[in-house]
Structure 1
Amino acid sequence: MKKLFLALIFLCSPAIASAQGMVSAADPRAAAAGVEILRAGGSATDAAIATTLALNVVEPQNSGIGGGSFLVHHDARTGRTTSYDGREAAPAAADPKWFYAPDGTPLSHFAAVPGGRSVGVPGSLRLMALAHRRYGRLPWSKLFQPAIRLARDGFTVSQRLHNGLANGGGHIDAAARAHFFGADGTPVATGTLLKSPEQAALLERIARRGPDAFYVGPTARKLVTTVNTAARNPSKMTTGDLARYAAKERAPICGTYRVYRICGMGPPSSGGVAVLTILKQLERFDMTKLGKDSPVAWHLFAESERLAYADRDMYLGDADYVKVPVQGLLDPRYLASRSALISADHSMATVAPGVPPGAPARVRAPVSEVPGTSDLVAVDAAGNVAEVTTTIEGYFGSGLSVEGNMLNNELTDFDIVPVSDGHLVANRVQGGKRPRSSMSPTIVYDAKGRVRIALGAAGGSTIIAQVAKTLVAVLDWHMSAQDGIALGLLYAPGRVAAAEKGTQLEAMVPALKALGEQVQVMPLGLKANAIERVGGRWVGAADPRSEGVAMGQDGSVTQIVRAGAIPNRPPE
């Protein structure tokens, strides 16, 4: 297993193309799990579930059944796009001052993360079950077998997991610490065979009994006890909160960009709206003529980001609890008015949210998401597509674990302070509510209605920018998905833009500053995956910043030249 993993990571070859199914994921063991299911006759959804479960084992720092997911699906037979919400939810007892200290002052984001109160009711398993009922072909239990083997028989610790433990594992609980750290306090070494028997046992029970093995009964009681008796920030979650949780089918957010139709996730995700907003505000500019090497093109991209993030921060939240003016934000006249604020030769003096049609009274809310998460995409031979973004929020989530699985800290994606300037904030904490997310699973269709590319990313609020950047690269600059993902990012959620260190953007900084951009060069924790359709065949892509790969059902593997300029990035 170790030799296979190292070979997958370090060998390089051209991108693969396949007429059969394919999986792209952030870890080769997870991609292999999905391909195994495709070869057994599974659907794209079956493969996505198996991949997600394998990530739960080999990438515990970023995702797992203790967290939540979004899924966007393309049905090849009907042409229909559907989306599913498995976002974590606040316990019923949560109120707008959920993250306040006993003295009545709000906690900082850093102080709110560790312990029980940041844990939302996990949603990933319920989403998997819902999607499987709709689009699965193989038995539920079969989808768990690759992950069970990885947990039971062991997997090789990767450099990225080791680095994650060293840089972001300081807050994990005693059980997880005993598993991931030695007696001397050092994280488990790269190359070590790590077995997780407790996790394997839980996965076996869920495989036999379904999600209720997690949401009802002993495991549910153990989870509730863990978060309610946490040494820091104890929660008030109940077993009823777990038992009542339901994944939901949501209407996808779809719109056009040039000749393409782009579909993404709606609220409580802000990704679908924000990605479309960035693109639509750029539509009046000839991005193709400008090209990827033009500082003006990147300046325009940054300006469009700023406007999109301003509206996202102001208006997006859980539409089951607050009024979200989705139609107004995507109204062509409104977007034209926002685009008119962008100039090719200078930067905006100020950036503020607009007032779209149907906008409620709102106040700006801070961007609180931290880099984390994982993404994967699976296609089957019939042409069905499942694009999934899954997360436990920050590295190792809340730091708490149950039966070998890390629990999320997703509730810190809410805005801690519920009122600003006398107005309630859209993304405030409320019982049962789902926090706003930047996760942006996306499927793009060409002018004939065929899937052109499916992609998503990880990395907190950079996700929106990563997806939009890759789509500009592929659709406007005619780059491959692989090259588009690898392209450096100019991330501009506010006045100051971050130019990704070690990329082509560093050389552009003087020219960007001449256009009025305030730019800082810094490393960004980015990670994206994609599969595109080129010449009637699927072509996979994975981020060179990660350990990800794309694997074809026929056994071919997309190997990536890894980003050597930045060997030790911060946790993604």
Structure 2
Amino acid sequence: MIRLVLLLLCLTVPAQAQRQMVAAAHPMAAEAGLAMLRDGGTAIDAAVAAQAMLALVEPQSSGLGGGALMLQWDAASRSLAAWDGRETAPAAAPPTLFLRDGQPMGFLEAAVGGRAVGVPGAMRMLEAAHRRGGRLPWAQLFAPAIAAAEAGFVVTPRLAALVAAEAERLRRDPQARAYFLPEGKPVGDGARLRNPALAATLRAIAEQGADALHRGPIAAEIAGAVRGHATNPGLLTTDDLAGYAPVRREAVCGPYRGFTVCSMPPPSSGGVALLQILGVLAHQDMPLDPRSVDAAHLLGEAGRIAFADRNRYLADADHVAVPLRGLLDPGYLLLRAQLLDRDRAIAAPRPGNPPWQGGAPLASQPPQPEQGTSHLSIVDAAGNAVALTTTIEDVFGARIMVRGFLLNNELTDFSFLPEVDGRPVANRVGPAKRPRSSMSPSIVFGPDGQLVAVLGSAGGSRIIGHVAQALVAMLDWGMEPQAAVSLPRIGALNATLELEAGTAAAALAPALEARGFPVEVRVMNSGLHAIRILRGPDGVRLLGGADPRRDGMALGE
């Protein structure tokens, strides 16, 4: 009951703090992170604790069996790191992994089972980041999640509804069936769900580090579950698990209205596409009304332009020549911005011709479904910050459960078609390659270089539009984070302009269609979590926002 009251307050009262804050997709995750900050921990300490708790309370979206991308700001050294814990394809994965009789498999046909399971990377990445920026002992960070897994947590209406919707697919896996469908029925809203198997796994990670997942009996069980799947076996081996390594990359950054916005580089398409959207909008005066048809027009058109480039050029830059510098070049973005007509939609946005391309010509990737994911935003008392987006890809991932956690289906983020018109697709499957992501963990700095905002979202490839809209809301329209993340969602997905069903945005559809937009009104299950840092004569003030479409909360002190 206490947590329900807190959740309801979160939806109506903007979270405020003076020292530190955690915004996460579940109150228990925010509480776990804040507990580490109270004990003198850093933002990365809090991120590890919150991620461990999400593995328990939001299993459908993230956890030990998936990957994560993270921006980490160190206030003392004034350095920004982009941590890549993205899953990788097994060494034996061929470009034709998702073809059957020469034709692409259906999404769920490919996703459910072992075929699409990539090598998980979240724990290895968090461990590497903790070595550089953590203060508390590694084992301490898992104590809240271990205790909660043993005692149990209360199932939310959202989790109960998702379990019911996926019951038939979860039923096919013995461990998932026993956990999510006790006595043969989907676990219900308000039930207390204990996960002693996850508690044991978390205890092993606390004692042995990420090696507990990547070597030894747990790794053997993961590989066995993937390769031994009855109907859709995969290729993951214990060697793949043992050989996984996270990568510390350089963030992509760009200017917007005097601010500097930084986000994730490839293998995510999110940061580049986000900066392209902002780079196009920077040449326009934004309408004063965020709910107007003109605002929707500009957000949608900038997104459609960015998606055209995304689908052609962006993939794992360790395996494909990505014209990163060209895609973010101010002169190139000015040319792309000139495509935008404030009165009429572009008939069919096409990829541009960015400078410094190099490599062989690539084909555009056909649209691919993407789901799931969770996001954490954290600021600690020393001014360090973490923006962490974490995923198992589809809801409940591959629907395979091992030792209390679900495995990802991340390989379905690759293009199912390796070639189009005889040319290779940039995001084709390849050994040890990271599938293209849309995750867009972002950190914003002011003209003076001070930390201004930390944010990100769930939502598959719609993440890009969700984060762009929230940034425009805060930086152009001066909205507080809670108002920004609660806005009716408007954004592009490929060439389509999407409007959130059941909101004021849906009423804009006729006017936008009259301007030539292909419009779809649909449920927009974003998962935005944002923190805004304000400085004034009375000191620093933190404002938090948690997406009301999920179970989340922003907590601080």
Contact 2:304 2:349 in 1 (8 A): yes
Residue 51 (1) aligns with residue 26 (2):
no
State the partner residue of 1:269. 268
CA-to-partner distance for each residue in 1:466-506, whole Å, 9 max, x for gaps?
Answer: 00000111111111111111111222223332211122212
Could you say what secondary structure the match of 1:464 adopts?
A: helix
| Residue equivalent to 1:496 | 496
SS at match of 1:45: helix
1:169 CA drift (Å)? 4.1
Partner of 2:512: 512
- Counting only pairs closer than 5 Å after superposition, residues 201-350 of structure 1 correspond to structure 2 as 201-287=200-286, 289-350=287-348
2:452 is paired with a residue whose SS is: strand
- Cα distance in 2 for partners of 1:129, 1:390 equals 14
Superposed, which structure 2 residues align to 1:98-113 within 5 Å? 98-101=97-100, 103-113=101-111
Per-residue deviation at 1:246? 0.4
Shift of 1:538: 1.0
Equivalent residue for 1:568? none
Compute the displacement of 1:19 (Å): 1.6
* 2:352 counterpart of 1:354: yes
For residues 169 and 541 of structure 1, the distance between their equivalents in structure 2, rounded to whole angstroms, comes to 32
Residue identity in the other structure for 1:109: F
CA offsets per residue over residues 265-309 of structure 1, 9 Å max, x none? 00000111000000110111111x443133112101111100101
Are 1:548 and 2:546 an aligned pair? no
Deviations 1:100-126 (A, max 9, x none): 23x444312221011111000000010
Give yes or no for contact 2:466–2:490 (8 Å, CA) kept in 1: no
User: Matched residues in 2 for 1:221 and 1:509: separation?
Assistant: 52
Contact 2:107 2:369 in 1 (8 A): no
Of the structure 1 ranges 45-54 and 70-79, higher mean CA displacement relative to structure 2 is found in: 70-79
- Normalised by the length of structure 2, the TM-score is 0.96
Structure 1: how far apart are the matches of 2:512 and 2:462? 20
Q: Following the alignment from structure 1 to structure 2, what is the Cα–Cα distance between the partners of residues 7 and 106? A: 47
Q: Is the 8 A contact 1:5 1:156 kept in 2?
A: no
Residues of 2 paired with 1:203 and 1:53: CA distance?
A: 8
Aligned counterpart, 2:409: 409
1:136-160: per-residue Cα shift (whole Å, max 9, x none)?
0000000000110111111111111
For residue 123 of structure 2, give the secondary structure of its aligned residue in structure 1: helix
Equivalents in 2 of 1:106, 1:467: separation in Å? 31
Greater displacement, 278-287 / 512-521: 512-521
The alignment partner of 1:70 has SS state of strand
Q: Distance in 1 between matches of 2:519 and 2:413?
A: 26
Runs of 5+ consecutive residues of structure 2 not aligned to the other structure: none
Shift of 1:520: 2.6
Aligned length: 548
CA distance in 1, matches of 2:272, 2:158: 31
Q: Residue in 2 aligned with 1:530?
A: 530
TM-score by length of 1: 0.94
SS, match of residue 528 in structure 2 = strand
- Distance in 1 (CA, whole Å) between partners of 2:495 and 2:323 is 24
Partner secondary structure for residue 551 of structure 2: coil
**Equivalent residue, structure 1, for 2:23:** 24
Give SS of 2:340's match: coil
Name the residue aligned to 1:440. 440
Amino acid at match of 1:302: G
**How far off is 1:530 after superposition?**
0.6
Q: For 1:59-208, what aligned pairs fall within 5 Å after superposition?
A: 59-101=58-100, 103-172=101-170, 173-183=173-183, 185-208=184-207
- Unaligned ranges ≥5, structure 1: 555-572
Amino acid at match of 2:546: A
CA contact (8 A) 2:308 2:495 kept: no
Letter in 2 for 1:49: V
* CA distance, structure 1, for counterparts of residue 137 and residue 288 of structure 2: 50
SS of 2:447's partner is: coil
Give the residue type in structure 2 aligned to 1:496.
Answer: T
Structure 1 counterpart of 2:545, one-letter code? A
Cα separation, 2, equivalents of 1:511 and 1:37: 49
C-alpha distance in structure 2 between counterparts of 1:169 and 1:142, whole Å: 35
Distance in 2 separating the partners of 1:169 and 1:42: 39
Aligned to 1:565: none
Distance 2:103 2:289 in 1: 49
Taking the aligned partners of 1:409 and 1:508, their CA distance within structure 2 comes to: 35
Q: Which amino acid aligns with 1:382?
A: A
Moved more, 350-359 or 432-441: 350-359
CA distance in 2 between counterparts of 1:141 and 1:263 reads: 31
Distance in 2, Cα, partners of 1:346 & 1:332: 24
Amino acid at match of 1:481: P
Helix, strand or coil: the match of 1:497? Answer: strand
Contact 2:304–2:496 at 8 Å: present in 1 too?
Answer: no
